[in-house]
Amino acid sequence: MAQLRQDHPEFIKRRAQVVVIGPEAGPAFEKYWREKDLPFIGLPDPKASVLKLYGQEVNLFKLGRMPAQVIVDINGRVRFVHYGHAMSDIPANQELLALLDELNKNHPVFNPAAPNTA
């Protein structure tokens, strides 16, 4: 999450909303969020209902949920998914930001010069 915090302003510039989904229950999750003063949205998911919707893997030998990064566009379509095989297996922010730039350049909401196909 430190990586996301560091580049959070870059995600905001691209009109992206960072949402981190965690396995803890509400009170513990909220306490952690407040203590760390994280600038993005945190969603507790102790029953793994969101995890199941996006196909995030649980590996008990690696202490729980494996990382997953998902980009959902303004219309609710999943445009990118990366399922990590280890806790360190996450794409660099620059890769995610480049994907957002590519998505945004063809969307009239973000680029008025783009054709309106919505």
Beta bridge partners of 58: 65
Whether the CA torsion 34, 37, 38, 39 is positive or negative: it is positive
Residue pLDDT, tens place only, 83-102: 888 778 889 999 999 999 99
Closest CA to 69 of 47, 89, 52: 89
Residue pLDDT, tens place only, 44-94: 988 888 888 887 766 666 566 777 888 888 888 888 988 888 778 889 999
Domains of the chain, CATH where assigned: 2-104 (3.40.30.10)
SS3 81: strand
Give the predicted TM-score (pTM) of the model. Answer: 0.78
